[in-house]
Structure formats: structure tokens, C-alpha cells
Amino acid sequence: MLFPTQIINQSWKVTVPEINSWIGEETPIPLLPNELSKTNESVALELHADDREGTITLKIFVSKKDNTGHYATSGELSTNKEKSGKTVTLSGFAGEKNLIQEQYSAWAQNTTFNVQSNQTYPFWKVYFDLKNLSNESNQTDVISKINHYLPENNAQKLKPLNQSLQARQYQVKLAQVGLNRLTNGQNELNLNLLIKNGDNQVVKEDFSKPNEQSWVGLPIKLTNFATNETNLLNIPIKARFAPITTKGKKSDRLDISFENLITKQQVTWYLKAIVRKNKVDELLKKIKSSVEEGYKIQYKDERKWRPNAKINDDVFAISLNPEEKMINYNVDKLYDLKTNSGANLIAGGHEHNDVTFNNMKIITKNDNGIKLRKNLWRIDGITGLNKELKNLFSLSTFKDQTDDNANPFLG
């Protein structure tokens, strides 16, 4: 179906037979009788196409072929176009308003979808994939990214955005991605769909343009996720040595990152689940492997003993916080001595031996993974790395259960 502007194509004058070719045979505009057509013609002038409404407005005239005048509906001949002709509105063409309504209606027919029954994606992966997508300023392929997790049967997928709307710069926006934990322990994923126009304005089903605070879109739910996910350790881990300075002293911070976990909150949830499910030792083995692989890639050095030596020589602290980008610190310690909670996701970064704060011992010498090397505090190789991470995971942040219902790694 064509839009009105595609039909009239900048025409300023069309004949009645042309008009009838647009509207079909059911309700054609009558042609002039033979006797009248000898000296007169019926034409449409003053055409206006409305792609939003899907209408063409025009004024049909019965005019003298010798251009001496036009007839009014009363039959009077006049040279004044304002007093002549009849204004007609043709509807039923492709219109942005109708297509928007049809799109929302198609989505609204089924707002609950089961993920693939044989799906290999844990709930947390789907949650973070879509959550991170919803936070992007320029979202692309929203429907196909959601449908990726749904069964192959098209009847069980979301309808893609109409191609005519896409051609007119409309796009789908994903918003309000969140989880709902049911009483049986299963997780549901809630999300909202909105359509935006080329001016980045939200467009509702009635074609009004509310702000996103007053209307968050059409709610959709994904269900049928497997319960008691055990594949937490399948998340790829990367390690990188980042040069830093602390009060002018040069050292390295070992940055540990987890694929697709891009905020401190996301990593905190993940580590809470690791602690809760007693998988700390397994995680430490994976981190060790990632450090060895990361060193090999970063420094192009295949020698197996070098990562341990690099940690010994240069690493002062370990960060698991993807938002930690600072490289110049005006303090000499990075560990959160004040709260000793682990909330900053920094391990190491303190002195050696017993560590005290306000006359309270918070790390014992035996549990301390820091040593003094050439008058500088350094992580004591892989052994010290494990000690510092175990200490971090033992702190209150990873025992707190107040936000368990919001943690996509639990349940």
C-alpha cells in the first residue's frame, strides 16, 4: 500500500479516471455523460497529500475545455475557483497514524512470550543483554534481539516494525527492563516497547506524543526460564594490567572484567550469587586463567611464569568494578578501610601485615595478600591475589540479602 505523497507524486492536476484508479472499483467517482464531455472535462486540482492520516484531499471541477470557466455545484458557470468545484477527501491509503495503530495492536494481541524450551541462555544473560540495550542512546534491531530468545515459530515472536515506518525513520525503543521473581522461584522478564519517530519523539497508538515519564510503552513479558541456574561460571572473564599512580607512586591495578556486566551493580549481583552458591574457589581458578591469558595478550609474552612475576613486581590493587576508570589517585591506599564492606569492589590496595583502622584489626597478617617489595606494597603473586579476593568476598556487601529479589543471578 502506498502513501498519499507516493500516489500524487507532486501532480497539480489529475483526471477522474486517474482518481478512480487509486480508489478501486467499489466507489468510483462518476464520469461525465457523453453529451457534457464534448465541451467539458472533470479534473481534480489543489491536491493535498497527508501521509500521517493516509488521506488525499482534492477539489474536483467540471470545467470548460476552452478554459472559460468552472461549474459550481449549483450548475452556475464561474471563473472563480473558490465558488466552483467540490472538495473531496479520499482515505484508506497508507498512513503513519494507521500503521502505528496496527503495530501496537499487533504487539498487544500477545504480550506474554515463552523463551525457547530448549534454550541455552540463562535468565541473567537475557536480562543483561536487554537491560544494557535499553540503556543505549541509539538502540538498533530491538525486535530481532528480543526474538532471538523466542521459539523459531514466527507465531511466537514479536512482529517486526512495519517496513514503511522504518523507511520513514521510525524505530522501536526498549524501556523499563526488569525482573519479577515468582513465589515458585522462577524469574519473569518484564519490558516495555515504544515507537519513536525520526525526531526521537515517542509516538503512542493514538499518535499522540507523550514524554517518556508519563508513558513508558506497551508492557511485554518473557517467561519459561529455567530455574536454579548453575552456569554462573560460563561468563567469560578478561584481565588487564592498568598503570596507575597513588600519591605519585607508580604501580599497576589488575582489572578483572566479566563479559556483558558493565556496571558496578551488575558485578556486585554476580559476585553475591557466586558467594551464595559456594563457587568462590571455582571463580578464583577462572580468574587465574584469565590473568595468565590476559598477560599473554597484553604483553605478547608466552612465558608461563611471567604473570605471577608481573603481579609480584607491579600490582598494588585488584579492581572488579567496570566503572573504575581513574588512573591517578591522591591517596596511597585504594582499599575501603573506613567501611571495610567491599562495596567499591577493590581488593588489595592496602599495607602489608596486620591492617587496622580506628584501632580495629580488619585484615590479619595471615589473610593479607600484600607484601613489601622494594619499599612498595605489592600483591604477592597469584597466592596473594587469591587471598585478597577471598577477603573481598567475605565482606558484608556479598552477604547482604536485602536486594535478593532484584538479583537476576539468584532464583
Residue-wise pLDDT for 96-144, tens only, equals 999 999 999 999 999 999 887 666 678 888 999 999 999 998 899 999 9
Q: What residues form DSSP beta bridges with 243? A: 252
Give the separation between CA 194 and CA 175, rounded to whole angstroms. Answer: 8
Give the separation between CA 348 and CA 389, rounded to whole angstroms. Answer: 8
Confidence of residue 368 (pLDDT cuts 50, 70, 90): very high
- Phi/psi at 27 (5° precision): -130, 65
Give the separation between CA 289 and CA 301, rounded to whole angstroms. Answer: 15
| CA quadruple 130, 136, 142, 144: dihedral, nearest 10 | -70
pLDDT in the model for residue 333: 93
Give the separation between CA 327 and CA 316, rounded to whole angstroms. Answer: 12
| CA quadruple 275, 279, 284, 287: dihedral, nearest 10 | -90
Q: Which residue has the higher pLDDT, 6 or 303?
A: 303
Q: Are 61 and 71 in contact (CB under 8 A)?
A: yes
Confidence of residue 230 (pLDDT cuts 50, 70, 90): low
300: in domain:
yes
146 and 277 housed in the same domain: no
H or E segment to which residue 18 belongs: helix 16-23
Confidence of residue 395 (pLDDT cuts 50, 70, 90): very high
Q: Which residue has the higher pLDDT, 23 or 328?
A: 328
Domain-terminating residue out of 53, 73, 91: 91
109 and 80 housed in the same domain: no
Q: What is the DSSP letter of 309?
A: H
51: in domain:
yes
pLDDT at 372 over 70: yes
Average pLDDT value for residue range 57-85: 88
CB atoms within 10 A of CB 406: 12
Domain containing residue 206: 96-223
Q: What residues form DSSP beta bridges with 168? A: none
CB atoms within 10 A of CB 158: 20
- Phi/psi at 28 (5° precision): -75, 155
149 and 273 housed in the same domain: no
Helix or strand or coil: residue 81? helix
CB atoms within 10 A of CB 195: 23
213 and 271 housed in the same domain: no
For CA atoms 333, 337, 338, 339, the dihedral sign is positive
Q: Which of 213-217, 311-315, 349-353 has the lowest mean pLDDT?
A: 213-217
Average pLDDT value for residue range 306-319: 97
125: in domain:
yes
In tens, the pLDDT along 250-277 reads 999 999 999 989 999 999 999 999 999 9
Of the spans 36-50, 204-218, 304-318, which averages the highest pLDDT?
304-318
197: in domain:
yes
**Could you write out the DSSP letters of every residue in 211-267?**
-TTT---EEEEEE-PPSS---GGGS-EEEEEEEEEETTEEEEEEEEEETT--SHHHH
Share the mean pLDDT of the chain. 90
In tens, the pLDDT along 31-61 reads 889 888 899 988 887 688 888 888 889 888 8
73 and 125 housed in the same domain: no
59 and 128 housed in the same domain: no
The total of structural domains in the chain comes to 3
Give the separation between CA 397 and CA 407, rounded to whole angstroms. Answer: 13
Q: Which residue has the higher pLDDT, 252 or 86?
A: 252
230: in domain:
no
pLDDT in the model for residue 29: 86
Q: What is the DSSP letter of 32?
A: P
pLDDT at 228 over 60: no
Average pLDDT value for residue range 271-293: 96
Domain-terminating residue out of 189, 223, 257: 223
207 and 131 housed in the same domain: yes
Give the separation between CA 368 and CA 280, rounded to whole angstroms. Answer: 17
Q: Which of 55-59, 150-154, 284-288, 354-358 has the lowest mean pLDDT?
A: 150-154
Q: Are 226 and 122 in contact (CB under 8 A)?
A: yes
For CA atoms 129, 134, 138, 139, the dihedral sign is positive
109: in domain:
yes
pLDDT in the model for residue 156: 84
pLDDT in the model for residue 13: 77
Helix or strand or coil: residue 105? helix
Q: How many CA atoms lie within 13 A of 316 on its CB side?
A: 24
248 and 331 housed in the same domain: yes
Domain-terminating residue out of 45, 60, 91: 91
241 and 108 housed in the same domain: no
228: in domain:
no
246 and 360 housed in the same domain: yes
Assigned C-alpha cell, 140 = 538498533
Helices (H) and strands (E) in the chain, counts: 11, 20
Q: What is the DSSP letter of 356?
A: E
160 and 308 housed in the same domain: no
283: in domain:
yes
253 and 393 housed in the same domain: yes
